[in-house]
Amino acid sequence: MKLSNEVREAVQLRAHGACEYCRLPQEASILPHQVDHIIGRQHRGSDDVANLCLCCVHCNLKKGPNIASIDPENGAVVALYHPRKHSWHEHFSAARDGTIEGLTSEGRATVQLLDMNDEDRARLRALLLRRNRYP
C-alpha cells in the first residue's frame, strides 16, 4: 500500500525536515529524506502516522526492517530507539566533533546499527554544528 501525499507531508512537518534518528536536516542531504515505518509492515506495523517517521536515506538503509539490536556495551538485545515513544535527548547526545553518543541501551544499539558515526556523516554533522545548522 502506497502512503498518501497528505501522510507524507504530515510526517515531514512533524519532523521539521530532519531525520528522526540522526537528526540530519533535509537541506544538508543530497537525496530526499524518506518516510520510514518505525515498526515494519513485516512485523505487523501499520501505515498509521504514529508508526511513521522521517528518515535520511543512510539511516533508513541501515535500519531496514530491524526493531531491535545488540547494545555494544553489555551485549543485551534491546529495542531500537522509537521516535514516537522516546525523547531523542534521553537516548542520544551530539558532540562538537559530530559524533552521536548513545546514552542508553536503546541509544547505543541504534547508533551502532544505523552506523551514525560513519566518518563522513560525523564530519558533516560537525560542519553543520559549527554553522548552527544542526538541531
* pLDDT per residue of the chain (135 residues) written in tens, 0 to 9: 688 999 999 999 999 999 999 999 999 999 999 999 999 999 999 999 999 999 999 999 999 999 999 999 999 999 999 999 999 999 999 999 999 999 999 999 999 999 999 999 999 999 999 999 998
Please give the Cα distance from 23 to 55 (Å, whole number).
9
Q: Integer distance in angstroms from the first to the last C-alpha of the chain?
A: 32
pLDDT at 3: 87
E-strand ranges in 1-135 read 34-37, 52-55, 68-70, 77-79, 92-94, 100-102
| DSSP code for 18 | B
pLDDT at 135: 84
Please give the Cα distance from 53 to 56 (Å, whole number).
10
pLDDT at 32: 96
Q: Give the pTM.
A: 0.95
pLDDT at 82: 97
pLDDT at 51: 96
**Strand partners for 55:** 34
pLDDT at 1: 60
Task: Please tell me the total number of residues recorded for the chain in this structure.
Answer: 135
pLDDT at 65: 93
